[in-house]
Amino acid sequence: MLHAATTDGSGDAPLRVRALVLASGSRGNCSILRIGAGEEELTVMIDGGLSPRRTSRLLADFGLALTDIDAAIFTHLDADHFNAGWTSKLPPHAPFLFHRRHRGRAERCGALRRRTTLMDEPFDLLDCLPAREGARALPPCSVVVTPCLLSHDDLGVAAFRFDVERAGMNASLGWATDLGRVSDRLIGALEGVGLLAIESNYCPQLQRASARPAYLKNRIMGGSGHLSNGESAEAVALIAPRGAVALLHLSQECNTPQRARDAHADHGRDLAVTAQDEPSGWIHAAARPVVHTRAVQSALFA
Protein backbone atom coordinates (compact mmCIF):
# COMPACT_ATOMS: atom_id res chain seq x y z
CA MET A 1 0.00 0.00 0.00
CA LEU A 2 0.99 3.65 -0.26
CA HIS A 3 3.07 5.01 2.58
CA ALA A 4 1.06 7.44 4.67
CA ALA A 5 2.43 10.94 4.45
CA THR A 6 4.13 11.82 7.71
CA THR A 7 3.88 15.19 9.38
CA ASP A 8 6.68 17.26 10.81
CA GLY A 9 7.83 20.87 10.83
CA SER A 10 7.10 21.13 7.11
CA GLY A 11 3.62 19.66 7.44
CA ASP A 12 1.96 22.78 6.06
CA ALA A 13 4.45 23.30 3.23
CA PRO A 14 3.00 22.86 -0.26
CA LEU A 15 4.01 19.91 -2.40
CA ARG A 16 6.41 20.72 -5.26
CA VAL A 17 7.12 18.48 -8.25
CA ARG A 18 9.22 19.84 -11.11
CA ALA A 19 11.39 18.53 -13.92
CA LEU A 20 14.52 19.91 -15.57
CA VAL A 21 15.66 18.50 -18.92
CA LEU A 22 19.41 19.08 -19.06
CA ALA A 23 19.73 17.58 -22.56
CA SER A 24 17.57 15.47 -24.83
CA GLY A 25 18.55 14.02 -28.18
CA SER A 26 20.65 11.39 -29.90
CA ARG A 27 23.88 12.75 -28.34
CA GLY A 28 22.71 12.32 -24.77
CA ASN A 29 19.62 12.40 -22.55
CA CYS A 30 19.64 13.47 -18.92
CA SER A 31 16.95 15.06 -16.77
CA ILE A 32 16.33 15.89 -13.13
CA LEU A 33 13.15 15.38 -11.14
CA ARG A 34 12.83 17.36 -7.90
CA ILE A 35 10.16 16.57 -5.31
CA GLY A 36 9.94 18.81 -2.28
CA ALA A 37 8.01 20.27 0.60
CA GLY A 38 9.47 23.11 2.64
CA GLU A 39 13.26 22.80 2.71
CA GLU A 40 13.23 19.04 2.07
CA GLU A 41 13.97 17.83 -1.46
CA LEU A 42 14.26 14.49 -3.25
CA THR A 43 16.40 14.64 -6.41
CA VAL A 44 16.12 11.92 -9.05
CA MET A 45 18.16 11.71 -12.24
CA ILE A 46 16.13 10.33 -15.15
CA ASP A 47 18.55 8.77 -17.64
CA GLY A 48 22.28 9.46 -17.59
CA GLY A 49 23.32 9.80 -21.21
CA LEU A 50 25.64 12.72 -20.50
CA SER A 51 29.04 12.41 -18.89
CA PRO A 52 29.15 13.07 -15.15
CA ARG A 53 31.47 16.02 -15.80
CA ARG A 54 29.09 17.73 -18.20
CA THR A 55 26.13 16.98 -15.97
CA SER A 56 27.95 18.52 -13.02
CA ARG A 57 28.57 21.72 -14.98
CA LEU A 58 24.94 21.96 -16.07
CA LEU A 59 23.61 21.28 -12.57
CA ALA A 60 25.79 24.03 -11.12
CA ASP A 61 23.85 26.60 -13.15
CA PHE A 62 20.74 25.57 -11.21
CA GLY A 63 22.39 25.50 -7.79
CA LEU A 64 22.72 21.71 -7.70
CA ALA A 65 25.60 19.22 -7.49
CA LEU A 66 26.06 15.53 -8.19
CA THR A 67 25.98 14.91 -4.44
CA ASP A 68 22.35 16.10 -4.41
CA ILE A 69 21.23 13.12 -6.54
CA ASP A 70 19.34 10.57 -4.43
CA ALA A 71 18.61 7.99 -7.16
CA ALA A 72 19.03 7.43 -10.89
CA ILE A 73 16.26 5.80 -12.92
CA PHE A 74 16.87 4.65 -16.50
CA THR A 75 14.41 4.18 -19.35
CA HIS A 76 16.88 1.84 -21.09
CA LEU A 77 20.62 1.42 -21.57
CA ASP A 78 21.38 2.70 -25.05
CA ALA A 79 24.53 4.85 -25.08
CA ASP A 80 22.56 8.10 -25.33
CA HIS A 81 20.69 7.23 -22.12
CA PHE A 82 23.40 5.55 -20.02
CA ASN A 83 27.01 6.66 -19.65
CA ALA A 84 29.13 4.01 -17.91
CA GLY A 85 30.88 6.75 -15.93
CA TRP A 86 27.85 6.95 -13.63
CA THR A 87 28.73 3.56 -12.17
CA SER A 88 31.52 5.21 -10.19
CA LYS A 89 30.61 8.91 -10.26
CA LEU A 90 27.09 8.78 -8.90
CA PRO A 91 27.05 9.43 -5.12
CA PRO A 92 27.53 6.15 -3.19
CA HIS A 93 24.15 6.45 -1.49
CA ALA A 94 22.21 6.80 -4.77
CA PRO A 95 20.89 3.52 -6.26
CA PHE A 96 20.41 2.68 -9.92
CA LEU A 97 16.90 1.68 -10.98
CA PHE A 98 16.39 -0.39 -14.15
CA HIS A 99 13.50 -2.37 -15.56
CA ARG A 100 13.97 -6.07 -14.87
CA ARG A 101 14.07 -6.73 -18.64
CA HIS A 102 17.33 -4.76 -18.80
CA ARG A 103 19.20 -6.74 -16.15
CA GLY A 104 21.41 -8.66 -18.59
CA ARG A 105 22.55 -5.54 -20.38
CA ALA A 106 23.08 -3.73 -17.06
CA GLU A 107 25.33 -6.59 -15.92
CA ARG A 108 27.33 -6.51 -19.14
CA CYS A 109 28.02 -2.78 -18.84
CA GLY A 110 29.02 -3.05 -15.17
CA ALA A 111 26.01 -1.22 -13.77
CA LEU A 112 25.19 -3.93 -11.24
CA ARG A 113 28.39 -3.28 -9.32
CA ARG A 114 26.51 -0.71 -7.25
CA ARG A 115 23.23 -0.83 -5.35
CA THR A 116 20.51 -1.55 -7.91
CA THR A 117 16.73 -1.94 -7.90
CA LEU A 118 15.15 -4.02 -10.66
CA MET A 119 11.54 -3.10 -11.26
CA ASP A 120 8.52 -4.33 -13.17
CA GLU A 121 5.68 -3.44 -10.78
CA PRO A 122 4.65 -0.20 -9.01
CA PHE A 123 6.81 0.62 -5.98
CA ASP A 124 7.51 3.49 -3.62
CA LEU A 125 10.80 5.08 -4.57
CA LEU A 126 11.57 6.00 -0.98
CA ASP A 127 11.70 2.27 -0.14
CA CYS A 128 14.73 2.01 -2.45
CA LEU A 129 16.79 4.66 -0.70
CA PRO A 130 19.20 3.51 2.02
CA ALA A 131 19.13 5.08 5.44
CA ARG A 132 21.84 7.72 5.75
CA GLU A 133 22.73 8.79 9.25
CA GLY A 134 23.18 12.53 9.44
CA ALA A 135 22.02 13.07 5.85
CA ARG A 136 19.57 15.78 4.86
CA ALA A 137 15.93 14.86 5.36
CA LEU A 138 13.79 13.73 2.45
CA PRO A 139 10.28 15.12 1.95
CA PRO A 140 7.56 13.31 3.95
CA CYS A 141 5.52 11.86 1.12
CA SER A 142 5.05 8.78 -1.02
CA VAL A 143 6.62 8.65 -4.49
CA VAL A 144 5.00 5.76 -6.33
CA VAL A 145 6.76 4.83 -9.57
CA THR A 146 4.84 2.71 -12.08
CA PRO A 147 7.11 1.32 -14.84
CA CYS A 148 5.64 0.31 -18.17
CA LEU A 149 7.71 -1.71 -20.66
CA LEU A 150 7.09 -0.62 -24.26
CA SER A 151 8.44 -1.48 -27.70
CA HIS A 152 11.90 -0.19 -28.64
CA ASP A 153 14.45 -2.32 -30.48
CA ASP A 154 15.09 -5.75 -28.92
CA LEU A 155 14.87 -5.14 -25.17
CA GLY A 156 12.17 -2.48 -25.04
CA VAL A 157 12.07 0.79 -23.13
CA ALA A 158 10.51 1.66 -19.78
CA ALA A 159 8.11 4.57 -19.51
CA PHE A 160 7.40 5.82 -16.01
CA ARG A 161 4.53 7.35 -14.11
CA PHE A 162 5.44 9.15 -10.89
CA ASP A 163 2.58 9.72 -8.41
CA VAL A 164 3.62 11.91 -5.49
CA GLU A 165 1.25 12.09 -2.53
CA ARG A 166 1.48 14.21 0.59
CA ALA A 167 -1.06 15.51 3.11
CA GLY A 168 -4.05 14.85 0.86
CA MET A 169 -2.43 16.33 -2.25
CA ASN A 170 -1.14 14.56 -5.37
CA ALA A 171 1.12 15.59 -8.23
CA SER A 172 1.95 13.28 -11.12
CA LEU A 173 4.46 13.08 -13.94
CA GLY A 174 4.59 10.83 -17.00
CA TRP A 175 7.91 10.13 -18.74
CA ALA A 176 8.07 8.37 -22.10
CA THR A 177 10.81 8.44 -24.72
CA ASP A 178 12.21 6.18 -27.50
CA LEU A 179 8.77 4.71 -28.08
CA GLY A 180 8.08 2.37 -30.93
CA ARG A 181 4.41 3.22 -31.27
CA VAL A 182 1.40 4.68 -29.51
CA SER A 183 -0.17 1.76 -27.65
CA ASP A 184 -3.06 1.15 -25.27
CA ARG A 185 -0.48 0.17 -22.68
CA LEU A 186 1.22 3.56 -22.92
CA ILE A 187 -2.08 5.46 -22.75
CA GLY A 188 -3.36 3.46 -19.79
CA ALA A 189 -0.15 3.90 -17.82
CA LEU A 190 0.10 7.68 -18.22
CA GLU A 191 -3.51 8.77 -18.60
CA GLY A 192 -4.32 12.05 -16.86
CA VAL A 193 -0.86 12.84 -15.46
CA GLY A 194 -0.26 16.39 -14.31
CA LEU A 195 2.89 16.85 -16.42
CA LEU A 196 3.74 14.76 -19.47
CA ALA A 197 7.26 14.47 -20.93
CA ILE A 198 7.10 12.55 -24.20
CA GLU A 199 9.28 12.17 -27.25
CA SER A 200 8.45 13.91 -30.53
CA ASN A 201 11.38 12.58 -32.50
CA TYR A 202 10.99 13.18 -36.21
CA CYS A 203 9.08 14.74 -39.08
CA PRO A 204 8.20 11.97 -41.57
CA GLN A 205 8.88 14.20 -44.57
CA LEU A 206 12.36 15.11 -43.32
CA GLN A 207 13.03 11.49 -42.36
CA ARG A 208 12.19 10.18 -45.81
CA ALA A 209 14.19 12.94 -47.55
CA SER A 210 17.27 12.46 -45.34
CA ALA A 211 20.49 10.79 -46.46
CA ARG A 212 20.13 8.12 -43.77
CA PRO A 213 20.35 4.51 -44.98
CA ALA A 214 17.09 2.71 -45.63
CA TYR A 215 17.57 0.25 -42.76
CA LEU A 216 17.85 3.13 -40.27
CA LYS A 217 14.75 4.88 -41.61
CA ASN A 218 12.84 1.61 -41.39
CA ARG A 219 14.03 1.02 -37.83
CA ILE A 220 12.99 4.49 -36.67
CA MET A 221 9.63 4.52 -38.46
CA GLY A 222 8.79 0.80 -38.26
CA GLY A 223 7.03 0.60 -34.91
CA SER A 224 9.97 -0.15 -32.59
CA GLY A 225 12.06 3.00 -32.98
CA HIS A 226 10.66 6.47 -32.26
CA LEU A 227 7.47 8.51 -32.43
CA SER A 228 6.93 11.06 -35.18
CA ASN A 229 5.57 14.50 -34.35
CA GLY A 230 2.10 13.39 -35.40
CA GLU A 231 2.23 10.18 -33.38
CA SER A 232 3.41 12.12 -30.35
CA ALA A 233 0.52 14.56 -30.71
CA GLU A 234 -1.87 11.62 -30.98
CA ALA A 235 -0.48 10.18 -27.74
CA VAL A 236 -0.88 13.52 -25.96
CA ALA A 237 -4.52 13.74 -27.03
CA LEU A 238 -5.22 10.23 -25.72
CA ILE A 239 -3.25 10.60 -22.48
CA ALA A 240 -4.93 13.98 -21.84
CA PRO A 241 -2.46 15.40 -19.30
CA ARG A 242 -3.92 17.92 -16.88
CA GLY A 243 -1.01 20.35 -17.29
CA ALA A 244 2.03 21.06 -19.41
CA VAL A 245 3.69 18.88 -22.05
CA ALA A 246 7.46 18.66 -22.59
CA LEU A 247 8.64 17.31 -25.93
CA LEU A 248 11.75 15.11 -25.73
CA HIS A 249 14.37 13.66 -28.07
CA LEU A 250 13.87 15.81 -31.18
CA SER A 251 16.01 14.60 -34.06
CA GLN A 252 18.54 17.24 -35.04
CA GLU A 253 18.63 15.93 -38.61
CA CYS A 254 14.98 15.02 -39.19
CA ASN A 255 13.00 17.51 -37.10
CA THR A 256 12.85 21.14 -36.06
CA PRO A 257 11.37 22.75 -32.94
CA GLN A 258 8.83 24.60 -35.08
CA ARG A 259 7.64 21.43 -36.82
CA ALA A 260 7.20 19.78 -33.44
CA ARG A 261 5.28 22.79 -32.10
CA ASP A 262 3.04 22.91 -35.14
CA ALA A 263 2.13 19.23 -34.78
CA HIS A 264 1.15 19.80 -31.15
CA ALA A 265 -0.68 23.09 -31.64
CA ASP A 266 -4.19 21.64 -31.46
CA HIS A 267 -4.09 20.22 -27.93
CA GLY A 268 -3.84 23.70 -26.42
CA ARG A 269 -1.55 22.83 -23.50
CA ASP A 270 1.54 24.68 -22.36
CA LEU A 271 4.37 23.25 -24.43
CA ALA A 272 8.10 23.04 -23.68
CA VAL A 273 10.29 21.87 -26.56
CA THR A 274 13.53 20.51 -25.12
CA ALA A 275 16.91 20.59 -26.84
CA GLN A 276 20.21 18.74 -27.09
CA ASP A 277 22.43 21.67 -26.17
CA GLU A 278 20.37 23.85 -23.82
CA PRO A 279 18.58 22.96 -20.55
CA SER A 280 14.84 23.45 -20.49
CA GLY A 281 14.51 25.29 -17.21
CA TRP A 282 12.16 23.98 -14.53
CA ILE A 283 8.79 22.61 -15.69
CA HIS A 284 6.22 22.23 -12.90
CA ALA A 285 3.52 19.66 -12.22
CA ALA A 286 0.61 21.19 -10.33
CA ALA A 287 -0.69 19.44 -7.21
CA ARG A 288 -4.36 18.68 -6.69
CA PRO A 289 -6.45 16.95 -3.98
CA VAL A 290 -6.07 13.18 -3.91
CA VAL A 291 -8.95 11.36 -5.58
CA HIS A 292 -7.63 7.78 -5.49
CA THR A 293 -4.60 5.69 -4.54
CA ARG A 294 -2.61 3.07 -6.44
CA ALA A 295 -1.58 -0.30 -5.06
CA VAL A 296 2.15 -0.72 -4.59
CA GLN A 297 4.33 -3.82 -4.55
CA SER A 298 7.49 -3.67 -2.52
CA ALA A 299 10.62 -3.06 -4.58
CA LEU A 300 12.93 -6.02 -5.19
CA PHE A 301 16.65 -5.48 -4.84
CA ALA A 302 19.50 -7.00 -6.80
In contact, 260 and 270? CB cutoff 8 Å: no
Query: Model pTM?
Result: 0.91
Domain residue spans of the chain: 15-130+139-280
**Of 111-125, 194-208, 261-275, 284-298, which range is least confident?**
284-298
Decide if pLDDT at 293 tops 60. Answer: no
Report, as an integer, the average pLDDT of 96-107.
95
In contact, 49 and 28? CB cutoff 8 Å: yes
pLDDT for 274 equals 98
Tell me which long-range contacts 269-272 makes (C-beta under 8 A, separation of at least 24).
269/236, 269/241, 269/243, 269/244, 269/245, 270/243, 270/244, 270/245, 271/244, 271/245, 271/246, 271/247, 272/21, 272/244, 272/245, 272/246, 272/247
Nearest to 148 by CA among 219, 78, 80, 75: 75
| CATH fold for domain 15-130+139-280 | Metallo-beta-lactamase; Chain A (3.60.15)
pLDDT for 302 equals 41
pLDDT for 137 equals 77
Report, as an integer, the average pLDDT of 279-291.
91
Average pLDDT, rounded, for the chain: 90
Decide if pLDDT at 292 tops 80. Answer: no
Q: What is the pLDDT of residues 105-162, one digit of tens each?
A: 999 999 999 999 999 999 999 999 987 766 677 888 999 999 999 988 888 999 999 9
Instruction: Determine what percent of the chain is predicted with pLDDT higher than 90.
Output: 77
pLDDT for 298 equals 45
pLDDT for 12 equals 67
